[in-house]
Amino acid sequence: MPYAAKGLAVGLFGGSFNPPHAGHALVAEIALRRLALDQLWWIVTPGNPLKSTRELAPLAERIELSEKIARNPKIKVTAFEAAHHVRYTADTLALVKARNPGVDFVWIMGADSLRDFHRWQRWREIVMTFPIAVIDRPGATLSFLSSVVAKTFDYARVDEGDAPLLARMKAPAWTFIHGPRSSLSSSAIRRMAKP
C-alpha cells in the first residue's frame, strides 16, 4: 500500500486494467485535477468478482502496463489487494481506512461502472465509507441519473463545482464530473487483439 501522510487528499482508482489504456489515464488525470488530489492510487485488482477471469492477463503484466501509462508522479500504481487477499471493494476501502487514519480518501469510478454498482457486494457500505467521484465515460453520461445508487443516494449528491472539496467531506457524498471522454475500452482492445 502506498504511503500517504495525514491531511493529504488521495483518490482511489481501482480496476482490472486488462489492459490499461489512455482512457484510464485520462480518468486519473481528470480526477487529480478536478478533485484537487495530492495523490491517486491506481489499484490494479487481482480480478473483478463480477467478471470472468478467462481473459485476465497476469497481475504483474497489468501492473507493468499501468506504470507505463500512469506517468504523473502523483499517481501510485499498486496491487496491494493481492497481498492482503482482498477481492471486494468494500473490504479494500475498510483496509485503506484502517491503515491510514487522518488521510482524506475519495473513491473514483467511471460512469460506466455506476450502472451496475448496486450489484457490487455491500455497495451501500462502499458509499458510506468514502466520498465518491463518478467520472463521465462515453455512452454512460445519462446512466448516473437512472442508476440505483444515484437514486438511493440522491440526497448526498454534491455539485460538480464543489468537487475540489469532496475528499474532505464525510460520506455519503458523491459527485458526477463531466469532461473530456475517451472511447477506449479494455474489452474492445481485447477483442481487437484476438486472432
pLDDT of residue 10: 98
The CA distance from 37 to 169, in Å, is 13
pLDDT of residue 179: 75
pLDDT of residue 166: 98
Q: 73-126, pLDDT tens digit by residue?
A: 999 999 999 999 998 999 999 999 999 999 999 999 988 888 889 999 999 999
pLDDT of residue 116: 85
Q: Which residue has the cell 501510485?
A: 76
What is the CATH number that goes with domain 9-193? 3.40.50.620
Cα-based distances in Å from 187 to 55, 93, 94, 133, 183? 10, 26, 29, 23, 12
Cα distance between the two ends of the chain: 37
Q: pTM of whole model > 0.85?
A: yes
pLDDT of residue 37: 98
The ranges of the chain with pLDDT < 50 are: 186, 189-190
